[in-house]
Amino acid sequence: MAGLNQYSLQKMMQKLSPQQLQMIRLLELPALQLEQRIKQEIEENPILDEDAEAEKEADAEATETLSIDDYIRNEDVPDYKYYVNNYSKDDQKRPVCLSEGLSFGEYLQEQLGYKHLTERQETIGQYLIGSLDEDGYLRRPFEFLTDDIAFSTGLEATEEEVEEALKIIQELDPQGVGARDLRECLLLQLPDKKELIPSEALAKEILTDHYENFTKKHYDRLMSRLGVAADELHDAVDVITRLSPRPGTLYAESRSSTLPYIIPDFLLEYQNGEFILSLNNSNLPQIKINNHYIDMIREMSAKGDRQSESDRETVRFVKRKIDSAKWFISAIKQRQNTLGITMNAMLNYQKAFFVDGDQTELRPMILKDIADATGLDMSTVSRVVNSKYIQTHFGTLSLKALFSEAMPTDSGEEVSSLEIKKILSDCIEKEDKHKPLTDETLMETLHSKGYRIARRTIAKYREVLGIPVARLRKEI
């Protein structure tokens, strides 16, 4: 049996301090989340106060006046519970209920309740509503649904009963709900035969008998088989393209009273040929350390040996919280400083672009370029850029959108891949939709402009831009 040996090992390792970790987390937060984080810190740390009227400079000066001399020189700082239970034994905790209106499923169930259904039909119908996806489709086959209904509700339903219940659901609002595929969804949104106008009747025939040719945009074949002219087919296709492929989203859109908006982290103005860059601090609470606690520490420290154990514990708690408050204020200041340095470097690098927002003026830029210009680490620049936006006189932009790869030209210069995507998008926008440009033609067009790009790169950029292939861009 081998004996036990003791030996010493010395090695170097990097360990982040709590202040550094706090700084990293704050650096990643965009403006809205930073506001919430500051309010959370104010709630958790009784030493911090919100000072909405004071200027930042005044807060900074007040923070600088605090020193370690204000504290008792006892470094043992125990954990301290500062949360207070304000409930007595007789109090009952009641949940706070928040209402956001009916969900999509509840909206359908409410409509189902107005139908004159048997208890069996209503049970099957409610289960089918619960099986719809967020787009309003029923993706599961009937044979699986019957087993699910039997297992969940104990009801032995036949496939015929499930299909009958589904037809009832398909009569509900929004139109197209309960479809099993896209073709059925589009057909459900067309009126009944008696109410169809010629273009709608032709659209229904296309979806019913010539769906594959329609999806592949074989318009010449459709005109030949249907015996219609180009303008008639154009009207029918126009009817189909106005239908919603995702009926479930129609309910969500109708309930949205406000659109989501972005709070920019930076504000950029361009006046008289000069840029004015500022951080958007309009919604950020301004914080300061409550001087009452500093005075309390001084009074208790003046007692010396006459302090009680309760006084010493209070002093240790307040000291710990003042340290935490100082660290937090310092981290906020450092965050703002780092953001300003990084954004200024990006502004100087992309000055030509920020004049009027012309994407062709964007220079190739990667994280290393900004890291070299600022002296910061690339990971720090990445955290600054992540989820941040800048408001300019030509729109609000994501900082990530300013970064791009370099592509060489015939003249030996390097241009941004965003510039090439913009030219590609413009070419497709101006193309003849009756004869859309293929990737090969687009490649030749860019070659003629001096951009040596392979066809597969054209295809990749086109997919990134969300532009379909030439065949699917064809119009009548």
| CA separation for the pair 147, 258 (Å, rounded) | 42
Q: What is residue 192's three-state secondary structure?
A: coil
Q: Does 442 have pLDDT greater than 60?
A: yes
| CA separation for the pair 449, 407 (Å, rounded) | 13
| CA separation for the pair 299, 72 (Å, rounded) | 11
In this structure, the answer to whether residues 125 and 180 fall within a common structural domain is yes
Amino acid at 422: K
In this structure, the answer to whether residues 172 and 64 fall within a common structural domain is no
- pTM beyond 0.75: the answer is no
Q: Is residue 61 part of a domain?
A: yes
The pLDDT tens digits of the residues spanning 451-472 come to: 788 888 888 888 888 888 877 7
**Averaged over 40-55, what is the pLDDT?**
74
**Quick one: pLDDT at residue 348?**
92
Amino acid at 186: L
Question: Domain containing 213: what range?
Answer: 191-242
In this structure, the answer to whether residues 275 and 373 fall within a common structural domain is yes
**Quick one: pLDDT at residue 344?**
92
| CA separation for the pair 127, 303 (Å, rounded) | 73
**Quick one: pLDDT at residue 90?**
47
Across all residues in the chain, what is the average pLDDT?
79
Q: What is residue 240's three-state secondary structure?
A: helix
- CA 237, 238, 243: angle at the middle one, nearest 5? 95
Q: Does 342 have pLDDT greater than 90?
A: yes
Residue 276: burial class (beta carbons within 10 Å; 0-12, 13-18, 19+):
exposed
In this structure, the answer to whether residues 460 and 379 fall within a common structural domain is no
pLDDT band at 347 (very low <50, low <70, confident <90, very high): very high
The label of the residue with tokens 């929004």 reads 174
Q: How many CA atoms lie within 13 A of 443 on its CB side?
A: 12
pLDDT band at 345 (very low <50, low <70, confident <90, very high): very high
Q: Does 98 have pLDDT greater than 50?
A: no
What is 12-75 written as a DSSP string?
Answer: ------HHHHHHHHHHH--HHHHHHHHHHHHHH-TTEEE-SSS-HHHHHHHHHT--GGGS-S--
**Quick one: pLDDT at residue 286?**
82
The label of the residue with tokens 């003046």 reads 302
**Quick one: pLDDT at residue 371?**
92
Report the domain count for the chain: 5
pLDDT band at 370 (very low <50, low <70, confident <90, very high): very high
Q: How far is CA 283 from CA 25, 239, 288, 357, 401, in A?
A: 19, 47, 16, 27, 25
Q: What is residue 287's three-state secondary structure?
A: strand
Partners of residue 50 on adjacent β-strands:
287
340's CB contacts (< 8 A; 6+ apart) are 277, 279
DSSP structure class, residue 375? T
The region of weakest confidence among 26-35, 120-129, 251-260 is 251-260
- 8 A C-beta contact, residue 421 and residue 466: no
Last residue of a domain, which of 358, 387, 402? 402
363's CB contacts (< 8 A; 6+ apart) are 349, 350, 352, 353, 416
The region of weakest confidence among 62-66, 114-118, 198-202, 222-226 is 62-66
Residue 387 vs residue 258, higher pLDDT:
387
**Quick one: pLDDT at residue 157?**
85
In this structure, the answer to whether residues 273 and 343 fall within a common structural domain is yes
Residue 7 vs residue 55, higher pLDDT:
7
**Averaged over 385-398, what is the pLDDT?**
89
Q: Is residue 50 part of a domain?
A: yes
**Quick one: pLDDT at residue 88?**
45
**Quick one: pLDDT at residue 400?**
87
Q: Does 78 have pLDDT greater than 50?
A: no
**Averaged over 2-17, what is the pLDDT?**
67
In this structure, the answer to whether residues 218 and 346 fall within a common structural domain is no
Q: Does 67 have pLDDT greater than 60?
A: no
Joined together, the tokens standing for residue 461 give: 């950029």
Tell me what percent of the chain is helix, strand and coil, each rounded to the nearest 5: 55, 10, 40
Q: Does 79 have pLDDT greater than 60?
A: no
The label of the residue with tokens 């193309």 reads 431
**Averaged over 98-102, what is the pLDDT?**
54
| CA separation for the pair 430, 260 (Å, rounded) | 31
In this structure, the answer to whether residues 160 and 218 fall within a common structural domain is no
- 8 A C-beta contact, residue 373 and residue 348: yes
**Quick one: pLDDT at residue 374?**
92
How far is it between the farthest Cα atoms of the chain? 106
Q: What phi, psi does 9 have (nearest 5°)?
A: -130, 130
- CA 388, 390, 377: angle at the middle one, nearest 5? 50
Q: Does 239 have pLDDT greater than 80?
A: yes
Amino acid at 49: D
In this structure, the answer to whether residues 231 and 348 fall within a common structural domain is no
In this structure, the answer to whether residues 47 and 119 fall within a common structural domain is no
Beta strands in 305-435 (DSSP E): 389-392, 395-398, 406-408, 414-416
In this structure, the answer to whether residues 234 and 198 fall within a common structural domain is yes
Q: Does 178 have pLDDT greater than 80?
A: yes
Residue 113 vs residue 84, higher pLDDT:
113
Percent of the chain with pLDDT over 90: 8
In this structure, the answer to whether residues 426 and 457 fall within a common structural domain is yes
The region of weakest confidence among 206-210, 213-217, 409-413 is 409-413
**Averaged over 380-385, what is the pLDDT?**
89
Q: Is residue 105 part of a domain?
A: no
**Averaged over 5-15, what is the pLDDT?**
68
Helix (H) or strand (E) run with residue 126 in it: helix 119-130
Q: Is residue 24 part of a domain?
A: no
